[in-house]
Structure 1
Amino acid sequence: MTLRIGIAGWSVLPPQAEIPGALDELIYEATSSAVKDADMTIADIDGVCMASSDLNDGRAISTMTLTGSTGSFHKSEMRVCNDGLAAVWMGAAEIGSGSAQSLIICAWNKFSDVVDPQAIPALAMEPTMHRALGYDPEAVLELRRSFETGSVTRTSGSPPLEPRDTAAAVIITADGHARAGDRVLTGFGSSTGPYLRPGEAVLAPTLRAVSAALDKAGLSIADIVRVHVGGMHRIDTNELGKALGVTDDIIVREQPQQADLGYAAGLVSLVSALTEGTIGATLVISAGGLGLASANAIIVERT
């Protein structure tokens, strides 16, 4: 039986170089607007599932300081240090288990508060050996792709990612909930691959996540009419389309494509897909980590 998760409302603060105000204000604007869009109040919400990182937020145990703005005060709260789509499928699992009827899913990014955003990706490297040796995540990715294709690659000259501020929130509900709209989540997939060793194709985790999401939705890639992509900056649209088995014209990327939305990338893409309102099945994918090693996929259908 296909798991169907209702979508009652959503909101996004469009990514820009800097959104004035404190991080708490940024998040509150997104979550409160999503609750209002769903024609609900915070009393109607059972809990919150968020995607965030203490490191990116610049504060220790950031969830303790954000309970007001995320709407999780005196409510169930879950957090993943992963892309926003991971928070979506975690929230969907909670609703699917019957533990909740409605949840806020939220993610954010405020790199304008970070002194050196370009220094953050290197901190994902293993600290004892790889970080000490000065390994660069972009070089790791390009070397893996070089191994995969058998071609020479250059790791210098890639433009740095452009840090952006943003926040996004989606209200998900049990299927048949009074506030559920005409859009439902029907497929969920996630996969993790190797970071440093070239043991598999760079896009293998993404393809596994997509395959799992399609299988759970009871669909094939031929049924997908739109693909929204979060992150995956170094993979061009043509390469992505060939790997997925879709034409380039149905793929929607973040603009500008080099914008770094951090953990909010996947959720911003989901909101983009919801706002677009395409009739039929839309695939939303995101992949992060070193070498795109952590991938997530969500299927959205409009009823």
Structure 2
Amino acid sequence: MSDVPSRVVLREVGPRDGLQNEPPVATADKVTLVEELATTGLLEIETVSYVHPRAIPQMADAAEVWAGVRQRPEITYSALVPNLVGAQRAISDGFTDIEVVVSASRTHNLRNIRRTPEESLDGIGEVVALAHDAGVRCQVIVATAFGCPYEGELPTDQVVAYAVRAVDLGADSVCFGDTTGMGSPPRVRRLVGSFRDARADAVLSLHLHDTRGTGMANLAAALELGVDRFDASVGGLGGCPYAPGASGNIATEEAVYLLEEYGVETGVDLDRLLEVAAIAQRLVGRELPSRVLTAGPRTRLSN
């Protein structure tokens, strides 16, 4: 437990990764969600995605959403981009942080962005260069890092090799994405350990899903290895439109609750975050899977 960090940064991905899997939500409601999340103490919010509207129509209003957000100077807002064109749009609109994705699975990458992983990494090099020329930070997300719904098990050295290539291309940070919720604590330990052996100084974060009920266990395993950056989605919104059955990012309020039990600081007001999770639930019009949203924290006593 000596490697558990004293503080963890949570990046809220509900407005992007969460809402892209829901029936289209009104632009004004997306703006509301971003601004409400900004009142919780979260310091990083993934806001929109600049993908082609034919691919993910739920994100077609990215520029309008971003234009409507009253930005807070203490918060880092980011955008996901699929390629150089998306990066140009995000940077032109004023984003200072972007993310670009490559899948460790050839099949998933072809279905997602119609390129092989190697072709994607060639393009990512151009995206990183463009971002840095504009003074913008760029993270590379390695998706399906813990397994692929089409190919199954992926060799750890293959996943690590793609992440190392991203670092060598100049990525400011790397994120391993459990796109399909196939991760488990042993897989987390194996992949994080192997990457740390290869690039000990690289900034690493994890994007975990709770599809098979292992999301919080995976966070705990990574935390005990010293990982101090995680993605999470308010209410447990999210999934992957290119991975059948891969619903459910880890819920931000569940992550905050667990981290507080470890004595780890997040800077997030859990009570306020639960209020925003309830707002998110109303906006999408369905019950969200977060158990802490349903039951409340253990400190909430019955009358």
Q: Same fold (TM over 0.5)?
A: no
Larger radius of gyration: 1
TM superposition score normalised by structure 2: 0.31
Q: Which has the higher helix share?
A: 2
Higher strand proportion: 1
TM-score (norm 1): 0.31
